[in-house]
Amino acid sequence: MVTAEALILVFVAGLITDLATGIGAIPFFFVKDFSKKILVGLWGLASGIMLSASFLGLIPEGLAAAQKYPLYNSEFLAVGFGLLLGGLLVIGARRAVDDIDLDPGTFEEADYKKMILILGVLTVHSFPEGVAIGVAFAEMGLESGIPIFGLAVPAIAVTMTIAISIHNIPEGIAISIPFKASGVSNWKTMGAAIFSSVPQPIGAVLAFIFVTEARVFLPVGYGFAAGAMVYLVLSEFVEEAFEEVEDLDTTGWPEFLGGNLAGLIIMVLLFTFV
């Protein structure tokens, strides 16, 4: 049963990840520009975190959940169906953003469209990240977990909240770059970064309610969250990372893979000790 306390806790978890996006704008209060190598490494870090969260956390949780329900003849088909749905959601969201007509106003048209596209894509794709949080909290209180405000919170929920918060920081940087290039103030830039992740607490609550009331869909929900994040990494994060190396005399692979490895290590430590 969904309780008010549980809803508040899930909403707060989504709000934490939302506010973490604003951290990405803080360096621009002190530094005007970042090394492109650093940006490539940050995109690699975000990619490593999200892939690790998917393959080490969400997918195994989904497979384990599917074994509890005789409805599923194969746990792999259940989670695989969710993976497909998650990828399709991101594809649809990207196309919806691409079809929006933009009015550049006082900004240079190319810069403005780049700015709005990045903000729009990250805002739309933050919803499935919120779904990932909500799904991770779905088994709250059913078994042993981490005690938080009198509720037994699954370790995967804490891990996902931390992971997505960390991953949102380079997203905040990515949003801040075109805003600052267009002359937007630091505080408005931070506001735009936070706005891009507003769907996360909303998606977290909606997903939590759905999978809690219709628990049989939990395996598909885990797959859905993982599919959305994996597709985002492959279609958006890698592309963004290697756009940064176009003017460099390096392939960018050492920085990107180094960030991936750092993300993997962070997630392994989180899954080990949380």
The rounded distance, in Å, linking the Cα atoms of 131 and 13 is 12
Contact call for residues 230 and 51 (beta carbons, < 8 A):
yes
273 CB contacts (<8 Å, ≥6 apart)? Answer: none
199 CB contacts (<8 Å, ≥6 apart)? Answer: 123, 124, 126, 127, 130
Three-state secondary-structure class, residue 225:
helix
The number of domains in the chain is: 1
Closest CA to 184 of 260, 132, 106, 241: 106
In terms of phi and psi (left: phi > 0; alpha: psi -120 to 50; beta: otherwise), the region of 252 is left
The pLDDT score that the predictor gives to residue 112 is 55
Give the Cβ contact number of residue 269 at 10 Å.
10
Q: What is the pTM of this model?
A: 0.69
Three-state secondary-structure class, residue 84:
helix
Give the Cβ contact number of residue 54 at 10 Å.
27
* pLDDT (tens place) for every residue of the chain, 274 residues total: 678 888 999 999 999 999 998 998 898 888 766 677 877 887 788 788 778 878 988 899 889 888 887 777 788 999 999 999 988 877 877 777 666 554 444 444 445 555 565 566 566 667 767 887 888 888 776 556 787 777 888 888 888 888 788 778 867 776 776 677 567 788 988 988 898 888 899 989 998 898 887 778 888 888 887 888 788 788 877 887 787 777 667 788 888 899 899 988 977 887 777 5
Structure tokens at 118: 């990045």
Angle CA 24–27–29, to nearest 5: 120
The pLDDT score that the predictor gives to residue 106 is 43
The pLDDT score that the predictor gives to residue 201 is 92
Which residue range(s) make up the domain with 120? 4-273
